[in-house]
Structure 1
Amino acid sequence: MPSKFQDLDPAGVSPEDRVNAMRGYKATIKNPRNSESAKQHAHEMIDALGGDEPRREMKQFDQDKDQTRIAGGLKASTKNPRVSEEGKNRAQEKLDQMGAPSE
């Protein structure tokens, strides 16, 4: 679903930016001092920002980033002179299971 905010940046609005904007709108909804029209507008903006979709996108991004870090640590283990040959072999096996290149 296209967002009203996509026109602001040619690269598109990041999921993190959308989640941050949604936090503000959710605070508006919960604040008893805000008018009903402001709360209604906040509901509309949350829908326009994609509801919970930005959170799912951020979670997937974090999982991808974690896999990259894990692979980097395993690659470092295969080159570290302080790691035993057995440890290097296990790290290489895990890299192979991940499908990450060893070089």
Structure 2
Amino acid sequence: MSNPGNVARGLKAAISNPNNSEEAKERAQDRLRDIEESGNLDSREAHEDSVAIGHKATLSNPNTSEEAKERSAQILEEMGRS
């Protein structure tokens, strides 16, 4: 089964794509609304996004130790977000 978060991101991309017809955009909007209303978008994905953002910030922070940067890079790789 598809991850609802990934499906939602794809639908949002379809809605904003200028090459898609208005009909396709409307269908994507309807489907996105259905997913949002069903509650299938859970907070776990939002949490994982926040964790990844924090680790990416660690990598770019010049005041962070190399050890901390290596650990953040490892975590991002394990999350599939390197």
Range class of TM-score, shorter chain: 0.5 to 0.7
1:83 corresponds to which of 36, 53, 64: 64
Comparing both structures, which one devotes a greater share of its residues to helix? Answer: 2
Counterpart in 1 of 2:41? 58
Deviation at 1:14, TM superposition (A): 4.3
* TM-score in terms of structure 2 length: 0.53
* TM-score in terms of structure 1 length: 0.44
Find out whether 1:70 has 2:51 as its counterpart: yes
Deviations 1:75-101 (A, max 9, x none): 110110111111111111101111112
Q: How well do the aligned residues superpose, as a CA RMSD in angstroms?
A: 1.9
Counterpart in 2 of 1:26? none
Where does structure 1 differ by over 4 angstroms across 4 or more consecutive aligned residues?
none
Distance in 1 separating the partners of 2:63 and 2:79: 23
Distance in 2 separating the partners of 1:79 and 1:89: 12
Between the two proteins, the alignment pairs up a number of residues equal to 54
Find out whether 1:92 has 2:51 as its counterpart: no
Deviations 1:29-56 (A, max 9, x none): xxxxxxxxxxxxxxxxxxxxxxxxx23x
Distance in 1 separating the partners of 2:46 and 2:34: 15
Instruction: Name the larger-Rg structure.
Output: 1
Q: Which structure 2 residue ranges, 5 or more long, are not aligned?
A: 1-25
